Amino acid sequence: MARYPDIDLDIVSTDQTLNMIDVGIDVAIRTGVLPDSSLMARRLAPHRRIVCGSPEYFERHGTPRVPDDLGAHDALRLPLVPDDRWSFTRVATGTQASQQQEHVLVQLQGRLRADDAQAVLALAVAGCGVALIPTWLASAALREGHLQHVLPEWEVRTGRAEPAVWAAYPPKKIVSSKVRAFVDFYADAFGEPPYWDDGLAR
């Protein structure tokens, strides 16, 4: 607001995917995989999820060394994975990049499911189990030592498509200057790589 004094903001914060045209929303920040739609979108940053748990939890239950170890742990789950499975791909480095990638599909166990990522983060920090949390949400808890990132040599997804953080807006022949300014501001603020991934294992 300091940079653009002529722009007023009316913020709607919800986990629901609203119909932007019907509700009259100029631009939305969305995470994950965008469904096919008539909306225009700009990729702002990667949406990387990592497996985390509290140091106290791993002290009680052991630290998973390979993805298959997670089958014996209490997983904190989100409804976006209806079959309760996480898909792992070993991160290729050096000469491994030209080799066939290793994939592992892990069936989860656990008694807790929550439909809010903030709730899953709080449960993980409280030592209730292992969780798959976006780095933009987990980074502060990781740096403060409340969470521990495990299996850093593996990428994990909840589906095949690559998720991201997006700016989405209704299709128009000419995108308004206020929408362009908003999207450019966020792209610059996030950075490349995004500030929340700075210093985290990849």
**Contacts of 158-161 spanning 24+ positions with Cβ under 8 A:** 158/49, 158/78, 158/80, 158/81, 158/86, 158/87, 158/132, 159/33, 159/87, 160/87, 161/33
Q: What mean pLDDT value characterizes the chain?
A: 87
Q: Where are the beta strands (DSSP E) in 91-172?
A: 103-107, 109-113, 130-134, 148-150, 154-157, 164-169
* pLDDT band for position 17 (cuts 50, 70, 90): confident
Tokens representing residue 34 in the block: 């965008």
Is there a single domain that holds both residue 54 and residue 152?
A: yes
Q: What is the CATH number of the domain that holds 168?
A: 3.40.190.10
Is there a single domain that holds both residue 24 and residue 105?
A: no
The model's pTM: 0.80
- The mean-pLDDT minimum among 40-44, 80-84, 123-127, 176-180 falls in 80-84
Tokens representing residue 15 in the block: 């986990």
Is there a single domain that holds both residue 130 and residue 100?
A: yes
Alpha-carbon distance 163 to 161, whole Å?
6
For residue 11, the model assigns a pLDDT of 92
Each residue of 19-69: pLDDT tens digit?
888 888 999 999 888 876 778 899 999 989 999 999 999 999 999 999 999
Alpha-carbon distance 12 to 54, whole Å?
32
Each residue of 113-149: pLDDT tens digit?
888 889 999 999 999 999 999 999 999 999 999 999 9
Residue that is written with structure tokens 């949406």 in the block: 47
Domains in the chain, number: 2
Identify which has the larger pLDDT, 171 or 168.
168
Q: What is the CATH number of the domain that holds 116?
A: 3.40.190.290
Is there a single domain that holds both residue 42 and residue 88?
A: no
Alpha-carbon distance 3 to 6, whole Å?
9
For residue 18, the model assigns a pLDDT of 84
For residue 131, the model assigns a pLDDT of 95
